């Protein structure tokens, strides 16, 4: 594995709560943040870091991703928890962070909305389905 591993949403919340060095990075697109909602970890005394892994609408990988993580104040010894829509793009983000020297880069496996169900709908798994705090910007 080229990153620290996959963790369920509930474990991510516990890590954010219990580890002062744990940081949540939402690596979805600005469109997703604005129209779908964002995790709210202010009750833990923390702020979510927002850095796009790919841009919308063309889906090109953000060539400044790691630089933007560092500009947001993340350091190699932070425990970085990456969140995307369904836990797929965040794997690439965790891999890139690990390759850049971050020692603990995790993928949140079901993301914010989870994978699609048999009817093609999202929302049966993930951050919101676990009833974790979120808000509409």
Interval 60-80: pLDDT, tens = 999 999 999 999 999 999 999
Is it the case that residue 137 has pLDDT exceeding 90? no
pTM, 2 dp: 0.96
* Res 53: pLDDT: 98
Q: Which residues pair with 104 in a beta bridge?
A: 79
Q: Where are the beta strands (DSSP E) in 66-116?
A: 79-83, 104-108
pLDDT, tens digit (0-9, with 9 covering 90-100), for 13-32: 999 999 999 999 999 999 99
Quick: pLDDT tens for 49-58: 999 999 999 9
User: Where do we find the tokens 């369920």?
Assistant: 8
Residues with Cβ < 8 Å from 25, sequence gap 6 or more?
48, 49, 50, 51, 69, 74, 80, 81, 82, 83, 93
Runs of H (alpha helix) within the chain: 9-18, 30-36, 65-71, 89-99
pLDDT value of position 117: 84
How far from chain centre, in Å, is Cα 30? 13
Give mean pLDDT, residues 90-109.
Answer: 98
| Domains in the chain, CATH or no CATH each | 5-135 (3.40.250.10)
Reading the block at residue 41, the tokens are 């970890």
């Amino acid at each position: 594995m080229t990153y620290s591993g996959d963790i369920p949403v509930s474990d991510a919340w516990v890590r954010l709560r219990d580890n002062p060095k744990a940081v949540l990075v939402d690596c979805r697109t600005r469109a997703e943040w604005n129209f779908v909602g964002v995790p709210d970890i202010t009750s833990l005394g923390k702020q979510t870091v927002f850095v796009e892994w790919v841009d919308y609408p063309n889906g090109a990988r953000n060539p400044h991703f790691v630089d933007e993580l560092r500009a947001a104040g993340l350091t190699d010894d932070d425990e970085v928890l990456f969140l995307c829509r369904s836990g797929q793009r965040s794997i690439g983000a965790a891999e890139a962070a690990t390759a850049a020297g971050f020692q603990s880069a995790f993928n949140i496996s079901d993301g914010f909305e989870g994978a699609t169900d048999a009817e093609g709908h999202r929302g049966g798994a993930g951050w919101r389905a676990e009833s974790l705090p979120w808000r509409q910007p």
